[in-house]
Amino acid sequence: MFFALQATTEGAHEWSPVLPGLVILLPLLGFVINGALALTHARRSADAVRAGGELDLAAGDRPLTHTLPTWIGPGVIGLAFLITVVNLVGMAGADLHEPIIRTYWTWIVTGSLTVDAAIQLDQLSMVMMLVVTGVGFLIHVFSVGYMKDDPGYPRYFAYLNLFIFFMLVLVMGAGYLLMFVGWEGVGLCSYLLIGYWFSDREKSDAGKKAFIVNRIGDLGFLVAMFFLFTTFQTLDFVEIFSAAPERIPYGHSVATIITLFFLLGAAGKSAQIPLYIWLPDAMAGPTPVSALIHAATMVTAGVYLVARSSVLFALSPIASATVAGIGVITALFAATIALKQYDIKRVLAYSTISQLGYMFLGVGVGAYTAGVFHLMTHAFFKALLFLGAGAVIHSVHHALHHTDKDWDAQDMRNMGGLRKHMPITWATMWIATLAISGIWPFAGFFSKDEIIWAAGAWAGAANAPYPTLYTVYWVLALVTALLTAFYMTRLMVMTFHGANRTGEKEAKHLRETPAVMWVPLAVLAALSVFGGWINVPAAISESFLGGFGFLPMGENFHHWLEPVMAGAHEIQAQHLGEISHQAPLFGGGELVWALASTGLAAIVVLIAARVVGGQKHVPAVDAAEPRGLGRVLYRKYYVDEAYDAVIVRPVHALSRFSWRFVDDVIIDGTVNMAGNLARAFGWVGSLFQTGQINTYAFIFTIGVLVILGWVAF
Amino acid sequence: MLDMVSYSDWILHALLWLPLAGLAHVLWAPAEHAKTVAFRWSLLVFVLSIGLWWAYDPAVGHGGFQLESTHPWIAAWGASYSLGLDGISLFMVMLTTFITPLAILGSFNYIKKKQKAFYALMLLLETGVVGVFLATDLLLFYVFFELTLVPMYFIIGVWGGERRIYAAIKFFLFTAVGSLLMLVAILYLHQRAETLLEVATFSYADLLTLQLTLKEQLWLFGAFALAFSIKVPIFPFHTWLPDAHVEAPTPGSVVLAAILLKMGTYGFLRFLLPLFPAAAQHPTVVAIMLTLGVIGIIYAALVAAVQPDAKKLVAYTSVAHMGFVVIGIFALTTNGLQGGLFVMISHGISTGALFLLVGMLYERRHTRLIKDFGGLGRVAPMLATAFVITALASIGLPGTSGFIGEFLVLLGTFETYPLAAICATTGVIFAAYYMLPMVQRIFFNELDKEENVVVEDLSRREIVILAPLIALMIVIGVYPAPFLERMEPSVQALLERVERSPNSVLRLGVDELGLGVSAAPVIAPDESTGLPNVGEMGDVPPRNLMAVR
């Protein structure tokens, strides 16, 4: 990996990226250093545990356990971000139409397969790198405050750095196999970080569940690669995407099979039906981890996969429709569950699943740019929501800790009225709530509206397959948008408004977070406001919704990604024709529906505020379990229970049966029977038996002689 | 005079016989020095073997044997003492010389009684295994193959756990039954050679030229396959393995899993495919082998998942891993074969390390029951870290050695048998399903048992043992190309030989594919070995890696 600096550039380009390998290498370096610090720290702490106590964190060695990780952990990511920004500027000025490939060494080479350790720089990987290092850096900084009293501080940063490393491998790898390295690598880090507090059984169970469910998805990824390889004899992006339109006829089953297997992989990583079940449990990890891995970056890898493979998906209308269908159903399904959750992180978890569903809808209806756009804006406001929730939990936890009250610091029923204690958190989280609800002019408005519109426009495309289906998608997406506005407002009202329910004594200890935590919130809030302006649809930018043309608005993001998506767009233009400029139902153009949706969302926010604000809330201990439909939602449709009964238990039973019956009874039974039979024969032989090795050798020789005789005969 | 005796002339003999010299030294030295003497000899053997990496040149010889030497042994039978090294045995030999000193070092605290005998047997075992991998004469091979049984039998039977006698006898009977049939098959080949070639020979190269009918091939294949399948072991011949592992002392388990099992799959590659190519491609045979391989992968993983004993769990994972090797071999594609060989290497490293780690746990707590542990990560962070990395390599996480092999096997199998490959791919899920719960129940969860609180972390000796293993898992995973490049020509040659045969079962007259001794210098014609360049050698392109790419 130290060849990084002597990389060879393939293809002639005017612009040469600045140290792109270092972007990947820096987080790895951070991992190595923090990992070493973590191990030394853990050894000392182990000595203390063996001696019957706990290591006193305050005493000595803070430079090694805190100061150094504090600078190195966020530092390497900050540097990586800076290099990325420099390259962004370079790329923006270069008018790049082909990806830049940098090859470092030959990774795998067999008789028929060659895979290089190579990275690919293009507009799409650049967007992902910016999100990963940028949002990643903010979350690292936030973590400094959030985790400062944690006994495993250096280990935490080691894992977090390793995660960024693998995430960058995922988005920068120049082929599917390298992407898969990052894909499984981030899964590993997710596993390690969900189970970060590994002494807690529930948390390490959650980590394990995430890993195993993700591996089900990985099966899909692997099989898709096998099909790709047998079709193209390579796993390289550039080669595959340039060959695909000629090699695979439009709508051919090969494209459908490949992309559906990829969809399985994407559904695992991006928590879509039917593999979403690990994500709510993943909230067991530290909250900044939820923000980084389980909201902003890793879970969007599935969307990235589809966007990256846009040419392949565009070739298969069936697979694309399936992607969109899975997405929109997941979006609606998760949103309904979020309506009835009380754990603040669980609401956000289901919200994330729901928003990922939107992204799937986007890339499924061929609006790859819109999907990636929503991925980016979602990274801003959802990271903000999670970090805000983290700040809230941090504060409530400390307040409860003061009086040793064993209430759940994450249950919104134990919160309320936090606004006056935590004004910055309150304000920034409201910005994020408006953004996710799709209210103008916040970031989510532009990205979500574009996805919903694309679903509707697809339904009316000239040669669109399944127009009715897409009409249904469009309606469901609109309904989900309203549900989103409702559950998010509910979260805000229950947490920040009304009377405080934490307890009188406890409420005195509720505090706003320190600057190291709220500054990242503020930065993300700014991005949640302005982040959407880089891509305003043409239909809107001319109108007052586009700021009358005064604001620097335009379809910049769309143009930016165009070189990457050109292949897919060409296929679409060729086979689907002009897309509609009218909504599939009721008529009306994009501007009308944008207006309507933001207006409706705003109304829902107001209604929700009134309804939830008007309800009487009691602390969790006094609350009764909801009834009727509410209970079904509260219990998450009993999906976990169903999976347990239908999959987990039968597999376990089969395992025990295989061991206790097939192995022990059938196979060993046969062997022992043969043994007993032999023993009966052996009784005769036992006249010669002495139990010595030389006797065996003797019998052995006899046997050989007999056989030799037979052969000779 | 001196420059005539170059490294490549003596190294194979040295690797084969130096352990026996060490054995003599162990027996002669005082008992308390037995372990260090044995360790030093095995280390010497390893250090000497490192040169093989460069001595074997994949660019020449068309993937055939190199560093060959032949001396008459039993002239009347035509048996010879002949050794040779190709891109397949290279890795097996180096794996053996690499693992043996680590296994010996890992036994320092474990073996208390009869140390002299134990270490002598370990060195005898090394000679036996190296012999198996180097022999290019079938009788010689068979002698070494059987020779490995004896030390292993005693290692389990004398230094094993409570049910050691049962396990040792089961081990011995299972493997002996299989190999006796193989002996019959070898003798049959010998006899056919006398008839067809009019020469008494056990030489691998000679026997390759035999023209056997399909019927003959199928019978002989069956006899060889049974011996090797038991050794591997392939479902349903695997039940001796968990018992042997549970009872064997740690170093025994390490050598058994890391090296001895490979003799089975090595046998497939070295003998089954080249000697009986028509049988190896027979649809029924392939269907049976693939099915058993896939069953092994899934079935063993399921059974592993419910094992209460950590060592037995690891033993079952071996069955699953070897299932990958089997399907990779019988898929008969370059990727499958190279992947299979790669899994053999990586399994040797990672499972060897897992047995060492389980042994370390046992030395600390005198139990291997998973439920007796819990929360060890807090008191033994280094041990936990080493275990987790090894477990991840074992379940094939990308970036570790385990991934490369498994991926290539699956990809290669998919090229010819997609359905089998997809079924086998579910193995990646089941691997997580058996491995992670064990890791969790040993190292995570609450540190709730008093006995576990005082568990010590890794000692310096243990770090020395584990560090090279873990380093290799990662290095091989990140930069496997040098390994793949070295094995490729031999695998290609093997594949070509097999592929050319089905429609030409009766015309395998010439060693046209350079598998045997007559591998002519295609790449460097002036570096003549004096052997004739036979038949169609000309139209086989030089197996230069750059050209392939």
Give φ, ψ of A135 to 5 degrees. Answer: -60, -40
Q: In this predicted structure, what is the pLDDT of residue A579?
A: 74
Nearest chain B residue (CA) to A41: B381
**Residues of chain A scoring pLDDT < 70:** 1-13, 57-60, 538-554, 682-695, 709, 711-713
Instruction: Say yes or no for a CB contact (<8 Å) between A707 and B484.
Output: no
Residue A558: its pLDDT value, please? 83
Position B229 scores a pLDDT of: 93
Q: What is the pLDDT of residue A95?
A: 79
Could you give the CA distance from residue B93 to residue B49 in angstroms, rounded to a whole number? Answer: 8
Dihedrals phi, psi of A391, to nearest 5 degrees: -60, -40
What mean pLDDT do residues B359-363 have?
A: 93
Read off the pLDDT of residues B448-491 as tens digits, 9 standing for 90 and up: 888 888 899 999 999 999 999 999 999 999 999 999 999 999 99
Whole-angstrom Cα distance, residue B126 to residue A211?
39
pLDDT single digits (tens) B186-217 = 999 999 998 888 888 899 998 988 888 898 99
Average pLDDT of chain B, as a whole number: 87
Residue B398 and residue A185: Cβ atoms within 8 Å?
yes
> Does A708 contact B480 at a Cβ distance shorter than 8 Å?
no
Query: Model ipTM?
Result: 0.89
Q: What is the pLDDT of residue B186?
A: 93
For residue B335, which phi and psi values (nearest 5 degrees)?
A: -60, -40
Bridging pattern class, strands A100-109 and B79-85: unpaired
Which of residues 214 through 273 in chain B touch A, CB cutoff 8 A? 236, 239
- Residue A117: its chain B contacts at CB < 8 A? 478
User: Where residue B110 falls among pLDDT bands split at 50, 70, 90?
Assistant: confident
Q: Which residues contact A123 (CB under 8 A, 6 or more apart)?
A: A91, A96, A560, A561, A562, A563, A564
Q: Which of residues 262-321 of B touch A (CB under 8 A)?
A: 299, 302-303, 305-307
Hey, which residues does A114 pair with through a beta bridge? A109
Question: What letter would DSSP give residue A107?
Answer: E
pLDDT of residue A3: 38
B302 closest CB neighbour out of A45, A106, A654: A654
In contact, A161 and A27? CB cutoff 8 Å: yes
CB B506 within 8 Å of CB B210: no
Contact between chains at B443 and A52 (C-beta distance less than 8 A)? no
Chain B hits for A106, CB-CB cut-off 8 Å, are 481
- Chain A nearest-CA distance from B459, in A, is 12
Residues found in chain B: 549
| pLDDT value of position A541 | 65
* Distances A656 to A584, B247, B352 between C-alpha atoms, Å: 54, 22, 26
- Cβ–Cβ below 8 Å for B484 and A108: yes
Q: What is the reported pTM?
A: 0.90
Asked if residue B542 has pLDDT above 50, the reply is no
pLDDT at A544: 62
Task: Evaluate whether A230 touches B414 at the Cβ level (below 8 Å).
Answer: yes
Query: Rounded CA gap, B124 and A342, in Å?
Result: 67
> What are the helix (H) ranges across B331-445?
334-365, 376-379, 381-394, 401-416, 418-425, 427-443
Q: Is the pLDDT of residue B427 over 60?
A: yes
Determine what percent of chain B is predicted with pLDDT higher than 70: 91
pLDDT of B521 above 50: no
- The pLDDT score that the predictor gives to residue B523 is 32
Length of chain A: 713
- Mean pLDDT over residues B316-330, rounded? 95
| pLDDT for residue B502 | 53
Interface A:B, Cβ pairs < 8 A: 184
Residue in chain B lying closest to A703 (CA): B180
User: What are B462-472's pLDDT values in tens digits?
Assistant: 999 999 999 99
B530: helix, strand or coil: coil
Q: How many CA atoms lie within 13 A of B401 on its CB side?
A: 29
On whether any CB of chain B is under 8 Å from the CB of A677, the answer is: no
pLDDT 10s digits, A582-598: 777 777 777 788 888 88
* pLDDT confidence tier of residue B293, bands split at 50, 70 and 90: very high
Instruction: Say yes or no for a CB contact (<8 Å) between A655 and B306.
Output: yes
pLDDT digits (tens, 9 = 90+) for A363-398: 999 889 999 999 999 999 999 999 999 999 989 998
Q: Are A76 and A27 in contact (CB under 8 A)?
A: yes
Query: Which positions in chain A touch B180 (Cβ < 8 Å)?
Result: 703, 707
The CB-based long-range contact list for B484-487 (8 Å cut-off, 24+ gap) reads B484/A108, B484/A109, B484/A110, B484/B338, B484/B342, B484/B404, B485/A109, B485/B58, B485/B545, B486/B53, B486/B56, B486/B58, B486/B87, B486/B90, B486/B91, B487/B58, B487/B87, B487/B88, B487/B90, B487/B91, B487/B338, B487/B341, B487/B342
Put simply, the answer to whether A222 touches B407 (Cβ < 8 Å) is yes
Query: How many C-beta neighbours within 10 Å does residue A661 have?
Result: 12
Residue type for A654, please?
Answer: L
B285 pLDDT more than 80: yes
Chain A partners within 8 Å of B414 (Cβ): 223, 226-227, 229-230
In B, which residues are within 8 Å of A671 by CB distance? 170, 174, 239
B237: exposed, middle or buried (Cβ count in 10 Å: 0-12, 13-18, 19+): buried
> Nearest residue on chain B to A222, judged by CA atoms?
B425
Residue A7 has what pLDDT?
Answer: 42
Mean pLDDT on B30-41? 92
Separation in Å, CA of B175 to nearest CA in chain A: 13
Q: Does B399 touch chain A (CB under 8 A)?
A: yes
Residue carrying the six token digits 């891509």: A535
Pick the residue with more confidence: A120 or B518? A120
Alpha carbon B427 to chain centroid, angstroms? 21
Q: Which pLDDT band holds residue B170 (cuts at 50, 70, 90)? A: confident
Contacts of A109 in chain B (CB under 8 A): 481, 484-485, 488, 545, 549
Give the count of beta carbons closer than 10 Å to the beta carbon of residue A652: 15
